Amino acid sequence: MERAPGIPQPVEALPAVSLAERRERIQRVLRGDLAEDRRRRLRERLITGWLFLAAAISVLTTAGIIYTLSIETIHFFQRVSLVEFLTDTQWTPLFAEKHFGIAPLAVATLLVSSIAMLVALPLGLLAAIGLAEYLPPRLARLIKPILEILAGVPTVVYGYFALLFVTPLLQRFIPNLQVFNVLSAGLVMGIMILPLVASLSQDAMLAVPQSLREAAYALGATKLEVVWRVVVPASLSGIVASFILAVSRAVGETMIVVIAMGNTPRLSFNPLEQMQAMTAYIVQVSLGDTPHGTLEYQTIFAVGTTLFLITMGLNLLSFRFLRRFREIYQ
């Protein structure tokens, strides 16, 4: 091959390599076919495989939960009929005369969650509106993390607070309030969940485009009207998602109800009395030494399955709302 004069010819440094070999080598480099390239690709594939496995552990976790819960639950329902589980009004697996109706535990959980929601939803939404729309952004950035400390306090601490501060306080106004009661547990749980609602709802409101607010102001709306008729409806699916997640959190909450609500499973709707929530029953049995394979051991998995199904249903519903919200604005 002729070269133009004056251009350096570095290839002459490799005299032993023929032109064909040289061409092949260049092509292999371009194809990424050298030994070191192959090594690199192999390493890359191994690492990707490891990373995938790490991500797959989450799927294995869910599979493990479903497997563990269903095995013992199936054993449970071989001994106890589903009809009894759903319709009996007594839950006394730890007594001589055994009844296996989930109703007392389920009603207690429902009651305490409802009280918590009466606190957490309105206050959380108001706080979110305050943070997103009313407070100057600098102040909101200061207050939000302090509010979020509430969500980071261990639940056993809230249990202490409910039993030894809130209940004695309430007993001054409600003399027939029992030492263990649903009301205190619910109120404290509501305060605990408030930051979850506030934080997620605020995020939803901040995602509403500024132009919508400006359009409403241009039509002569006041701040409150902009908030209630524009911002809240526009972020409604995000707010609803946060509400549903809050319910899910309340249903699964354990230590507050264990400590402050009592451990007597009885079907009642009076929040001034003690009751046993589903999670509290699981803890009560776990604290005793219950041998594997007994009916008592299986009951906690049956209750756990009920809990898991309820919360997962709520979580998936919440994600559906959240996705709809994200599709609109992001």
Q: Which is nearer to another protein, 21 or 137 (CB)?
A: 137
Footprint (CB under 8 A) of another protein, residues 119-148: 122-124, 126-127, 129-131, 134, 143, 145-147
Q: How many CB atoms lie within 10 A of CB 310?
A: 19
Q: Which of residues 295-324 bind another protein (CB under 8 A)?
A: 300-301, 304, 307-308, 311-312, 315-316, 318-319
Query: Hey, how many other C-beta atoms are within 10 angstroms of the C-beta on 164?
Result: 13
- Under rule CB under 8 A, residue 253 binds another protein: yes
Report in angstroms how near the CB of residue 111 gets to another protein at its nearest: 17
252 binds another protein (CB under 8 A): yes
Least distance to another protein, CB of residue 8, Å: 25
Q: Which of 328, 320, 301 is nearest to 85 (CA)?
A: 301
Is 69 or 230 the residue whose CB approaches another protein more closely?
Answer: 69
> Minimal CA–CA distance to 160: which of 298, 256, 60?
256
Taking the C-alpha atoms of residue 265 and residue 252, their distance in angstroms, rounded to an integer, is 17
In this complex, which beta carbon is closest to another protein, that of residue 239 or of residue 251? 251
Looking at residues 3 to 32 of the shown chain, list those that interact with another protein (rule: CB under 8 A).
none
Residue-wise DSSP of 126-164: HHHHIIIIIS-HHHHHHHHHHHHHHHHS-HHHHHHHIII
Total residues binding another protein (CB under 8 A): 90
**Beta carbon of residue 266, minimum distance to another protein (angstroms, whole number):** 20
**Degrees to nearest 5, angle at CA 317 with 312 and 322:** 120
Name the residue nearer to another protein (CB basis): 18 or 68: 68
Instruction: Pick the stretch among 14-22, 82-90, 159-167, 170-178 that binds another protein (CB under 8 A).
Output: 159-167
Cα separation, 321 vs 201, in Å, equals 12
**Candidate residues 22, 81, 142, 165; the one interacting with another protein per rule CB under 8 A:** 165
Record the tokens describing residue 323, joined without a space: 């996705």
- Say whether residue 254 binds another protein (CB under 8 A): yes
Is residue 91 classed as helix, strand or coil in its secondary structure? strand
Q: Does 157 bind another protein (CB under 8 A)?
A: yes
Q: Which two tokens stand for residue 92?
A: 């006394």
Residues 187-246 that bind another protein (CB under 8 A): 191, 194-195, 198, 220, 222-225, 227, 245
Supply the minimum distance, in Å, between the C-beta of residue 195 and another protein: 7
The stretches of the chain forming alpha helices (DSSP H) are 19-31, 35-79, 82-87, 103-129, 137-152, 155-161, 167-173, 182-206, 210-218, 223-226, 232-234, 236-252, 255-260, 278-287, 295-329
Nearest approach in angstroms of CB 101 to another protein is: 21
Selection from 132, 261, 134 nearest residue 187 by Cα: 261
Tokens coding 275: 């009751």
Q: Which is nearer to another protein, 143 or 267 (CB)?
A: 143
User: Of residues 268-287, which lie at the interface with another protein (CB under 8 A)?
Assistant: 279, 282-283, 286-287
Residue from 76, 85, 100, 161 that binds another protein (CB under 8 A)?
161
Residue written as tokens 């400590």?
A: 259
Q: Please report, as residue ranges, which positions from 34 to 73 form the binding site for another protein (by CB under 8 A).
A: 40-41, 43-44, 47-48, 50-59, 61-62, 64-65, 67-69, 71-72
Among 102, 239, 251, 261, binds another protein (CB under 8 A): 251
CB of 162 to another protein, least distance (A): 10
The nearer residue to another protein, 3 or 172, going by C-beta atoms, is 172
Residue bearing tokens 């009004």: 89
Q: Find out whether 158 and 188 touch, Cβ atoms under 8 Å.
A: yes
